[in-house]
Structure 1
Amino acid sequence: MSALVTGDAVVLGLRPARLPSRALALLIDMVVAWATYLIVSFALLLATASLDDAAQAAIAVALFVLVLVGAPIAVETLTHGRSLGKAACGLRVVRDDGGPIRFRHALVRGAMGVVEILLTFGVVACIASLVSERGRRIGDVFAGTLVVRERVPAGRAASIPPPPPWLMGRFAGLDLSAVPDALWLAIRQYLTRMGQLDAQVSWTMAARLADDLVARTGAPAPEGVPPAAYLAAVMAERQSRDARRAFGAAHASWGGGGAGTSASPVATGGASAVGPAVPGPLDKAGIAAAPTWTAAPPHIAAAPSAPTTRPGSEPDSPPATGFTPPA
């Protein structure tokens, strides 16, 4: 797997798409585009039969540009890199840093696609993808984009650390409908690898992702909450909502709130149960370090839950989250 590296030297676990899957996605897109072009051309031919040859030629050129060039650019811009063929094959166009593409990226890709796909029947694009280490065609190189696989085996996905207990259920009323899938993917990739990053790099990347998330939700992050903890709590809330929609409230995962889940300890003054401990970050040899236990924050330490004890054993330690509570 070729690694994607952000500007902060953070490696993202996105898998670049290779030529076979990209060729299949392109074939689907071209079949749809050419079918649309022929149908619209036939309809316009009947509607403009009374016009002279020059007018018909101008209409034909305009139709070619709109359907075979403009339409793919518009689709990639509106769907943030997912055309019909790419959606069918589980692919997406992203920026070199893993973020979602914008109109200028789609415009450059579409303009170069006229030369390397339409005029050369895809020969130039195939050669460029075979030569490139990450399977990029010339349009991707000029636009600073990359086609990646969205569907990865579930068994290989790293687990996301649970949020701090004092943030559980705190974002139950947050509107997450405007957050795009690409931002969720970037947050997930960060949370699964934040323990392996330099502290300054991790904080900078968490702050950037938190700002993007705040801009999408329209609600400011709570004061005093570290950016990484805020991201983990919002991600847990989103996973809990997905679980409730798919399986009902009884199967909702940790981090919920709202219907079917218990209120947060901040709201009730008590303490709620949390998930099992999560191992610490990997060391240089690739072995997980022992988890580090974190104490509850001062504002809920006055009402701790009763520890679970067994005869002849010490009380259970609090669950590890990997986050330090605010001072």
Structure 2
Amino acid sequence: MTVPGDLVTGEAVALDIRPARLASRASALAIDLLIMASLSAMLGQLVQIIALYADEAVVAGVAILVTVAVFVGYPATMETLTRGRTVGKMAMGTRTVSVDGGPVLFRQALMRALAGVVEFLMFTGAPALLCSLFNRQGRRLGDLFAGTLVIQDRTPSLASYSPVAQMPMHLVPWAQSLELSRITDDLALSGRQYLQRFWELLPEVRDELGWELMRSFGPLLTPPPPPGARPEVVISAVLAERRRRESVRLSAQRHRREEHLRRIGQHVPADPPPPPVFQQRGPAFQAGLLPPPQFYGPPPAGSAPYGR
């Protein structure tokens, strides 16, 4: 399943990346413009010193060189050396990448920088703003010319509280009675990606994607989900039960292997400690201190529950 913001490479692989929002891009640009203005002012002092000892042609050449170095060389060099990031982008957690998701090349960074001189210095950013507003991925003219895209490289803190595959206590009896053999790995992966991105999506998008997923999950679940259960809750219960059964199966295999090693007199290696399931989501999730997530909205009008 792909969602808005996914990119698809030439090999038909969906890349789970999110285009940067206009506010993040504008803030990053403001920081970079402030840096470039500071560099221009400092180098301008050098031009004034040169003007005391050189003729006007030399001074004009040095001034042009300084302008190009600051407003073209700075963004092009930074994005090339840092794989798509300038100081402003680092601060706002954004990055420039190729449209296929690969790292930005020097020629692409140079094209963006040259187009930026026209867009921001000559026309005060109006072409970039209009193009970004009418482009689905927020690309400005420089991105269109260079074949690039600015993405959100650092996930907002709110995304760290996205629900993962946890078992709702009221669905434990139902989940333990499920027949899960028809749930494919691809479908389970789609469900997990939906849960991971739950809080990044707008409420209406959450609902639309959730009920779309349930039209795939629902017919494969026996017995069917309890009436009125939200799609994100049902998917979380299914994935948590699927993970539990897989853990039981692997534990049984490990136990049989250890018994076999003991019978033939070989050393049984100690199992490494399992990593915390929610380590990346902070101590509140590990301790179970967070309240249950607030879910949004009824199913779409006129649609049968879970596609049944």
| Shorter-chain TM-score tier | 0.5 to 0.7
C-alpha displacement of 1:33: 0.3
Q: What is the CA distance between 1:132 and its match in structure 2? A: 0.8
CA distance in structure 1 between the partners assigned to 2:163 and 2:151 by the alignment: 16
Quick check: 1:10–1:197 contact (8 Å CA) kept in 2? no
1:154-303 matches, within 5 Å, as 154-156=160-162, 195-196=185-186, 284-285=216-217, 287=235, 288=238, 290-291=242-243, 292=246, 293=249, 295=253, 302-303=260-261
SS across alignment from 1:93: strand
Give the distance between the partners of 1:157 and 1:144, measured in 2 at CA.
35
1:72 aligns with 2:62: no
* Matching of residue 41 in structure 1 with residue 44 in structure 2: yes
- Residue 125 of structure 1, CA deviation: 0.7
- Counterpart of 1:196, as a letter, is D
What secondary structure, in the 3-state scheme, does the structure 2 residue paired with 1:284 have? Answer: helix
Gaps of 5+ in 1: 160-193, 200-280, 307-327
Verify: 1:12 aligned to 2:15, yes or no: yes
The separation in 2 between residues aligned to 1:282 and 1:73, in whole angstroms, is 46
CA distance in 2, matches of 1:127, 1:303: 69
Q: Distance in 2 between matches of 1:85 and 1:5?
A: 24
Which structure has the larger Rg?
A: 2
Q: 1:81 and 1:55, CA in 2 relative to 1: closer, same or farther beyond 3 A?
A: same
How far 1:67 moved relative to its partner?
Answer: 1.2
Letter in 2 for 1:151: T
Contact 2:7-2:16 within 8 A present in 1 as well: no
Matched, 1:134 2:137: yes
Structure 1 residue 283, shift from structure 2 partner: 8.8
CA-to-aligned-CA distance 1:58-96 (integer Å, 9 cap, x gap)? 111111111111111001111111111111111111222
1:6 touches 1:96 (CA, 8 Å); kept in 2? no
Change (3 A) 1:198 1:80: same
Question: In the comparison of the two structures, how many residue pairs are matched?
Answer: 194
Q: 1:196 and 1:38, CA in 2 relative to 1: closer, same or farther beyond 3 A? A: same
Deviation at 1:23, TM superposition (A): 0.8
Aligned to 1:95: 98
> How do residues 51-62 of structure 1 correspond to structure 2 at under 5 angstroms?
51-62=54-65
Matched, 1:117 2:130: no
Normalising by structure 1, report the TM-score: 0.51
Distance in 1 separating the partners of 2:216 and 2:134: 33
Give 1 or 2: higher helix fraction.
2
- Could you tell me the percent identity over the aligned residues? 35
Distance 1:96 1:21, change over 3 A: same
Structure 2: how far apart are the matches of 1:197 and 1:11? 15
State the alpha-carbon separation in 2 of the partners of residues 101 and 158 from structure 1: 32
2 CA distance for matches of 1:43 and 1:67?
14
Letter in 2 for 1:93: T
- What one-letter code is carried by the residue in structure 2 that aligns with 1:284? S
Say if 2:113 and 2:142, in contact at 8 Å, map to a contact too. Answer: yes
Structure 1 residues 145 and 77, CA, compared in 2 at 3 Å: closer, same or farther?
same
